[in-house]
Structure 1
Amino acid sequence: MSKRQFFLGMLLASLIGGIVALAGLSFLIKPQNATSFDEKQQASFVNLLSGEDFTVPDGINFVASAEAVVPAVVHVKSQMTYAGSGRSRRDPIQEYFGIPPRDDQGGGSGHGRTLMSSGSGVIISSDGYIVTNNHVVENASRLEISLDNNKRYVAKVVGTDPTTDLALLKIDAEGLPFVRFGDSDKTKIGEWVLAVGNPFDLNSTVTAGIISAKARNIRILENVENGLSVEAFLQTDAVVNPGNSGGALVNLAGELIGINTAIASSTGTFSGYSFAVPSTLVKKVMDDLMQYGTAQRALLGVNIQNVSPELADYLEKEFPVEQGVYVGGVNENSAGEDAGLKPGDIIISVDGRVTNNVANLQEMVARKRPGDKIEVEYIRDGETYKAKATLKNFSGTTDIVEKVIPKSYDFEGVTFEEVPAQLKGALDISGGALISNVAGEKWVRAGAKSGFIITSIIAESGRIKISGVDNLLDVLKDKEGEDIVVLGMFQDGTEYYFEVNQ
C-alpha cells in the first residue's frame, strides 16, 4: 500500500467515524416526544455541560463571596425633616395658649416637611457598627436600618467625615454577621469584584465587574471642608445605581475593599463606571470615628498639582519625570516646611509607595494621624532626595483632636441633650432640651424630630417652662400617664408643637 492510499484510507475512516458520532449524538439529544420545557432543556447539548457534574472554576465563582457578604449589607433609610425658613404666624387662640402652629395649620408650604431617602451600609463588627456614606445620613433626623433577614433597628450616628464622604453608625445588637476588611492596596486592575447594596430599594442586590482603575479623582467632593477632600476612588464597572451608596465592594474572598460612593453618569443612573472609597482609607476613618468621634486629618502642608505636559508648558520648564506630584508652594509652620520641601520639588513616593498623582499622595497622607511620620522621596534639580516629615493637624500641631460628645439622656426611646450655649444665643432662649434621636414609637407617632428644641410642656396642670434636660426628665416622669403637648422650635427658629398621647 502506498503512502497516498494509506492517508486516503485514514481520512475516509475519520469522516465515517465523525458521521457516526454525530448521528449518535443527534439521536441522544433529540427530544423524544418532549411534552415540557424541562424535557426540551434536558435534551439540550448545552445542558450536557451543566448540572451537578459541571463545576465553575473557583477563580470566577461569585457564589461564596455573595453568600458571605449579603447578610452583612444593610438598607439605610434616612428621614429628613425640613422646618421651613422663618417663624410661623399664630392665630389668637394659639397666641393665648402659647401654642405655635403645626405644619398643617397655616405654617406655609414646606413647613415641617419630612422626606425619605435610602442607601446602603456595611456591618463591620458583630456588635452593630455600620459604615456608610456621609451623604446617605447627612441631615437625617432618624435612621432606620433593615437587615437582609428583615430585622429593623434605629441607628445612631457615631461620627461623620465629609472629606471622605464616610460615616459610622451604631445599632443596638449583638452577634451580627459582618464583612472583614480587605487590603485595597493589593487589588489589581482587572480583578473581579462584587458590588452589594440596595439600588432603587431592591434589597440585597449583587452585581459583578472588575477593577478598571485605581486612585481616581472625579472631583465630587472638591467643595467640601475648604477643598481638603480626599478622592482616590477605586473605579469599577460593576453596576451601581442610586441606593447603592454606602454599600460594599468586595473581592472574591468576600473581603471589603471599598465603599460604593458615586457613579459617572449624565442621567443619574449607571452608565458604565462606579467609584468606591478604598478600604485602607475606610478602615482608618472608621477607627478614628469610633475612638475619637471625629476623623483625624493629618496634613503635609504643601500646595500640589499633577506633573503633566500642560503644567510643564505653563511653567516653561522640563520635568525630569513624566509622572509625580509637583509642589507649587509650602505653607509656613507645616510638616512640609519642617521636612525641607520647597516649591518646585517633585514628590515621587511616600513611605516607598509610588505617588504618580495628587490622588495617590492625598490618600497616603490621609491614612495617617497628626504626629505620624512619613518618608517623602522627591526630586530637586534633577537629584533625588528623601526626607522625614512629621504630619500636623489643621492648627499646625501634632495633637490628636477629640470631639466633645455631649452627654445624652434617654427617656421612652428618645435621646435628649443640653442645648449648646452658642445655639441658645442664636435663638435668644435661656433654656430648653435638644432632641438628638427619636426611636420610641409613641414619640415618633407624635411627630417628634431630631434637632427639635423643647422649651415648654403643657399638661393638665398648665404650662411648664423647660430650663434644661434634667428639668425636662423630671417633668416627663411626673406627667407619665398624662397626655401632654410639647412646644419648642427647630434650630432655624421655626416654632412647632406636637402632642404625645398615652
Structure 2
Amino acid sequence: MKRIAGLFFIAIAAGATTLGAYKLFFEPRATTYLTENDSMPVFHTAGTPAYSAGAGIDEADFTLAAENTVNAVVHVKNVTLSRGSGSLLEFLYGYEERARPQVGTGSGVIISPDGHIVTNNHVISRANQLTVTLNNNRTYDATVIGTDPNTDIALIKIEPERPLPYLAFGDSDNVRIGEWVLAVGNPFNLTSTVTAGIVSAKARDLGRNQSFIQTDAAVNPGNSGGALVNTNGDLIGINTAITSQTGSYIGYSFAVPSNIARKIVEDLLEYGDVQKGVIGIESPRLNTRYAVENGIDEIDGVFVDGVEEGSGAEEAGLERGDIIRRVDDIRVRRMADLTGYISTKRPGDEVRVVLERDGEELAVPVEIRERQTTVVPRMGVKVKNLTDAEKERYGTEVGVKIVGVPETYRRYDLEGKIILAVDDDEIRDIEDARNLFAKISRYGNTSITLLDENGQKERIIFQ
C-alpha cells in the first residue's frame, strides 16, 4: 500500500514539473488587454500580431500589371533642327551654319488599338520628325494630333498594320496614398523599364497651378510621357516631372492624373483644342505674407478671396470669406485639390460645391464656365474679356480690359483701360492677349495700344 502511494505522489510531481516546464518555455504568451478604469488611466493595446515587413507587402504581385503595361508603352524619338547660334562669322558676313539635328527621347502610352498615343508636350515640342518604337522593336513615323502645354499633355498618332495592345484609363480620383504603383518607360534609352513604389501624395502643386500625383517609383530622364499604373494595370497617370538638383531621380516624381489626361485627349479628338473651364474664384497662395497675416495659410479648405464677374461662382452666390470644403465627392483641402478636379470638367458642366459660411455648411450648384481672365506673360497684368456692356461703354468690339496691375506698372495708370493691340496685331480676347504677349521679345521695343473710357487711344512702349 505504501508503495502504491509513493508511486502516486511521484506521478503527481512529475506531471506538475512537466506542466510547469511547458507553461514556462513552450506555451505561446497570451495577449493582455489593458482597460481603463476610474482609478488609473491606462492605454488600450491590440492583440493583433505585428510583422516587421508590414501588412500585405509579401502579397504584392506586380508581374501581371508589368506584363500588360510594357507592351503598351512606347519609345518616342524627337528630331529637331538647330541652326547657328549667332556666331561672329554669321554677324560679320551673314554666314549661316547648316541646321544640325538634335535628338530627344521620351516615352508614350498607347491608349487605343488604332495607334493613338498620349505623351508629354515637352517630349514632342518643336519636333521636325517624330518616330515611335514599340516594345517589339517595330518603328513608325508619328503625327501630332494636338497638345496642351498647360498640363504638358500631347496626343500623337501612328498607323499600325494591326490592332495594338493599349492601356485603359483608370480613375485617378480613387487613387489612395500608400497604394502600390508601377512606373513604366524608357529612362536613359533603356527600353521597357519597370519600377515600383507607392503613391506619396495627391494634388501636389509645383507652383504652376496644377495637380500632380507624387510617387516614389523611380523616374528618370526618358521616363517622361510613360505610364503610371496601379497593380491592376490601369493607367492612373502620365509620368511628367522630377524635382532634383542633379536632374536624376532622388526619391520622388510626379505624374499628371489620368482623369486630367483623359479629358485633354477627349477634347483634342472632339474639339481640336482643350475646353478649359473655371468656377470663377480667387484664392491667395498659402505661402504669401497676406495669407500668413490673415490666417488663411492654416485653413483646411480653399478660402474664397474674390469672385470673378460673370462667373458661375458669382451666379451661385459665392462670397468673399467662404471656405470650400468639398466639390462633388472630392475632399478639398487646398487649391490644387480644387483645380485638379475642375480640370477634368468642361464649360457647361455643373458641380456641387459644399462650403462653410459664418460657421454654417451650405451646398450650392456651380456652373463651370470658360475662363474670362488671365495674367499675360512678360508684363504680368491681369486682363478680362469684355462684356457687351463694356463694349458699348468703350465703343469697341475688340480688346481686353486690364483689371489687375503689378506694382512695377502701377504708376502708369493702366487699370480699367482696354488693350486693343500689341504692335499691329489686334487683340480680340484673352487667348489672343496671352499668345501675343508671350511672343514679345526680350530685346527691342513693343508698342501697346490702349483705350480709355473717354474713347481716347494711347500707345505705350514696352521695353
- Quickly name the TM-score band, shorter chain normalised: 0.5 to 0.7
Go from structure 1 to structure 2 and tell me whether the alpha carbon gap of 1:87 and 1:349 turns closer, same or farther (over 3 Å shift): same
Contact 1:307 1:322 in 2 (8 A): no
**Deviates most, 280-289 or 3-12:** 3-12
Q: Which of 280, 285, 305 matches 2:284?
A: 305
Contact 1:78 1:140 in 2 (8 A): yes
Note the residue ranges of structure 1 that are not aligned, 5 or more in a row: 14-55, 91-100, 223-229, 398-424, 427-502
Cα shift readout 1:265-295 (whole Å, capped 9, x = no counterpart): 1110010001111111111111111111211
CA shift for structure 1 position 79? 0.8
CA shift for structure 1 position 387? 2.1
Q: Which of 334, 338, 358 matches 2:315?
A: 338
CA shift for structure 1 position 381? 2.2
Question: Residue 186 of structure 1 aligns with which residue?
Answer: 174
Identical counterparts, % of pairs: 47
Structure 2: distance between partners of 1:87 and 1:318: 52
DSSP-derived class of the 1:305 partner: coil
Question: Residue 77 of structure 1 aligns with which residue?
Answer: 77
Q: Which of 111, 123, 137 matches 1:136?
A: 123
DSSP-derived class of the 2:76 partner: strand
Go from structure 1 to structure 2 and tell me whether the alpha carbon gap of 1:83 and 1:307 turns closer, same or farther (over 3 Å shift): closer
Structure 2: distance between partners of 1:233 and 1:300: 20
CA shift for structure 1 position 113? 2.4
CA shift for structure 1 position 305? 3.4
Q: Which of 112, 116, 127 matches 1:125?
A: 112
Contact 1:144 1:153 in 2 (8 A): yes
TM-score by length of 2: 0.66
Contact 1:194 1:208 in 2 (8 A): yes
Contact 2:352 2:365 in 1 (8 A): yes
DSSP-derived class of the 1:272 partner: coil
CA shift for structure 1 position 335? 2.0
Note the residue ranges of structure 2 that are not aligned, 5 or more in a row: 1-9, 23-55, 373-384, 387-423, 426-463
Cα shift readout 1:440-464 (whole Å, capped 9, x = no counterpart): xxxxxxxxxxxxxxxxxxxxxxxxx
Letter in 1 for 2:75: H
Contact 2:280 2:308 in 1 (8 A): yes
Structure 2: distance between partners of 1:312 and 1:247: 37
Structure 2: distance between partners of 1:284 and 1:154: 25
Contact 2:131 2:142 in 1 (8 A): yes
Contact 2:302 2:324 in 1 (8 A): yes
Question: Residue 237 of structure 2 aligns with which residue?
Answer: 258
Q: Which of 191, 216, 225 matches 1:246?
A: 225
Higher relative CO (CA 8 A, sep ≥ 6), structure 1 or 2?
A: 1
User: How does 1:223-242 map onto structure 2 within 5 Å?
Assistant: 230-242=209-221
Question: Residue 140 of structure 2 aligns with which residue?
Answer: 153
Structure 1: distance between partners of 2:89 and 2:245: 42
Question: Residue 292 of structure 1 aligns with which residue?
Answer: 271
Structure 1: distance between partners of 2:287 and 2:85: 47
Letter in 1 for 2:281: V
Go from structure 1 to structure 2 and tell me whether the alpha carbon gap of 1:318 and 1:332 turns closer, same or farther (over 3 Å shift): closer
Go from structure 1 to structure 2 and tell me whether the alpha carbon gap of 1:7 and 1:260 turns closer, same or farther (over 3 Å shift): farther
Structure 1: distance between partners of 2:287 and 2:129: 47
Aligned-pair Cα RMSD in Å: 3.2
TM-score by length of 1: 0.61
CA shift for structure 1 position 345? 1.7
Structure 1: distance between partners of 2:296 and 2:70: 51
Go from structure 1 to structure 2 and tell me whether the alpha carbon gap of 1:178 and 1:88 turns closer, same or farther (over 3 Å shift): farther
CA shift for structure 1 position 82? 2.5
How many pairs does the alignment contain?
A: 332
DSSP-derived class of the 2:263 partner: helix
Structure 2: distance between partners of 1:200 and 1:388: 48
CA shift for structure 1 position 300? 1.6
Go from structure 1 to structure 2 and tell me whether the alpha carbon gap of 1:386 and 1:64 turns closer, same or farther (over 3 Å shift): same
Go from structure 1 to structure 2 and tell me whether the alpha carbon gap of 1:309 and 1:378 turns closer, same or farther (over 3 Å shift): farther
Structure 2: distance between partners of 1:150 and 1:354: 44
Cα shift readout 1:32-75 (whole Å, capped 9, x = no counterpart): xxxxxxxxxxxxxxxxxxxxxxxx99941111111111101000
Structure 1: distance between partners of 2:132 and 2:13: 79
Contact 1:160 1:168 in 2 (8 A): yes
